[in-house]
Amino acid sequence: MLLGGFDIVVIALVVLVIMVLFAGIKTVPQGYQYTVERFGRYTRTLGPGLNIITPFIERVGARMNVMEQVLNVPTQEVITKDNASVSADAVSFYQILNAAQAAYQVSNLENAILNLTMTNIRSVMGSMDLDELLSNRDAINDRLLRVVDDAVQPWGIKVTRVEIKDIQPPRDLVDAMARQMKAEREKRAQVLEAEGSRNAQILRAEGAKQSAILQAEGQREAAFRNAEARERLAEAEAKATKMVSEAIAAGDVQAINYFVAQKYTEALTAIGSASNSKVVLMPIEASAILGSLSGIGAIAREVFGDGGNPPVSPAPPAPRQVSAPRTTPQVNPFNPNSER
């Protein structure tokens, strides 16, 4: 079947319409934004979904990925503030917020962000000492993030994170740091040991002080109790002496016998304890001693009471037998140094 001229025109028009539709309808996937250029000039940005442009007049310029992206920063040599050479690498996370600025404000976006990050790593780490560099990685990350984010803002880029992955000092420097750390730990151990010894001495001194205080208090209490006992004993002796004196003043023979027996006993004690006494021969009448002791017992019953019973008078001394005078010297019990 031969086609006429009209049929060919119709077919050509249908094909043209289909081409126009394909040229004017644009589908943008999620996570991307397309820029639209009209005769080479940016006009607008197409979002995700179905979009229509003017065929043959407008065209899609740049297809920008607006999802957060990761950029690996290669290892580079960094000279620290104290002239130590270290190797450092990092990773950077960024996201395109304005597709038009990212497309038309900078050429080769990833290369620009990479070089900017590497330059700022050298600047930030070069302004720090090695010890500070190794111990303050979070501070380095914060400074890098702030500096790089401020630099890429005109490009419509948001740098969300910059992380230093690894910092490698030279091997000899690592060995020196290990020796330094060991020395510091040994020093700290010695300091702690000295502090422990000092605290132990302080505690021992405090214990000795408390013991001395308690001992002194005990001695003071004992002295007070002894003095109190002596005072009560003196009061008792004074009371007894007063009672005996009153009894003597009243003519009580038993009180006189009490004093005689007391003096007699003191004299015997003095004779027995004398250093120059060897052997003493003297007559001791048992009946007189018994009489004196009986008088002492009667006085004691009068002083302390005997249930209301009257005191018993001592038995009269037995009659003495007169004998021939002896040649042995006799000692007066009231005067141990005299002989009779």
pLDDT (mean) for 201-208? 90
- Phi, psi (degrees; rounded to nearest 5) at 213: -65, -45
Q: Which of 88-102, 176-190, 255-269, 315-329 has the lowest mean pLDDT?
A: 315-329
230 and 160 inside one domain: no
Instruction: With a cut of 90, say whether residue 318 has pLDDT above it.
Output: no
| Residues 138, 131: Cα–Cα separation, whole Å | 14
- The 8-class DSSP code of residue 321 comes to P
222 and 275 inside one domain: no
pLDDT in the model for residue 252: 63
57 and 81 inside one domain: no
Burial of 136 (C-beta count, 10 Å sphere; 0-12/13-18/19+):
middle
Domain stops at, among 65, 90, 105: 65
pLDDT in the model for residue 134: 83
What would the pLDDT profile of 214-248 be if each residue is shown by its tens digit? 888 888 888 888 888 888 888 887 887 777 777 77
Q: Rounded to a whole number, what is the distance in angstroms from the first to the last CA of the chain? A: 193
pLDDT (mean) for 7-15? 81
Residue 268 lies in a domain: yes
Q: Which of 129-133, 209-213, 241-245 has the lowest mean pLDDT?
A: 241-245
127 and 43 inside one domain: no
81 and 158 inside one domain: yes
User: Please, which residues bridge with residue 158 across strands?
Assistant: 95
Residue 75, helix vs strand vs coil:
strand
Domain stops at, among 169, 195, 212: 169
153 and 180 inside one domain: no
* Structure-model confidence comparison of residues 46 and 182, the more confident one: 46
| Residues 124, 146: Cα–Cα separation, whole Å | 11
296 and 225 inside one domain: no
Residue 191 lies in a domain: yes
Residue 333 lies in a domain: yes
Instruction: List the domain range (segments joined by +) for residue 36.
Output: 5-65
Burial of 284 (C-beta count, 10 Å sphere; 0-12/13-18/19+):
exposed
Q: Which residue has the tokens 């002796």?
A: 237
| Residues 204, 333: Cα–Cα separation, whole Å | 61
pLDDT (mean) for 6-12? 79
289 and 209 inside one domain: no
* Structure-model confidence comparison of residues 243 and 53, the more confident one: 53
Q: How many domains does the chain have?
A: 4
What would the pLDDT profile of 88-100 be if each residue is shown by its tens digit? 999 999 999 999 9
| pTM, full prediction | 0.51
Length of the chain counted residue by residue: 340
Residue 246 lies in a domain: no
79 and 156 inside one domain: yes
195 and 118 inside one domain: no
| Residues 155, 145: Cα–Cα separation, whole Å | 16
Write out the two tokens for 292.
Answer: 């004196």
3-state DSSP helix/strand/coil percent for the chain, to nearest 5?
55, 20, 25
How many C-beta neighbours within 10 Å does residue 167 have? 18
207 and 129 inside one domain: no
For every residue of 126-164, DSSP letters joined together read HTS-HHHHHH-HHHHHHHHHHHHHHHHGGGTEEEEEEEE
The number of angstroms, rounded, from the C-alpha of 320 to the middle of its chain's C-alpha atoms is 94
pLDDT category at 337 given cuts 50, 70, 90 is: very low
* Structure-model confidence comparison of residues 129 and 244, the more confident one: 129
Write out the two tokens for 94.
Answer: 């960024």
pLDDT in the model for residue 1: 55
125 and 33 inside one domain: no
Residue 245 lies in a domain: no
CATH number of the domain where residue 154 is located: 3.30.479.30
Instruction: With a cut of 80, say whether residue 202 has pLDDT above it.
Output: yes
Domain stops at, among 111, 135, 169: 169
Residue 243 lies in a domain: no
Residue 244 lies in a domain: no
Q: At what angle do helices 109-126 and 137-152 cross, to 10 degrees?
A: 140
What would the pLDDT profile of 19-38 be if each residue is shown by its tens digit? 888 888 889 999 999 999 99
- Is 145:161 a contact under the CB 8 Å cutoff? yes
Instruction: With a cut of 80, say whether residue 260 has pLDDT above it.
Output: no
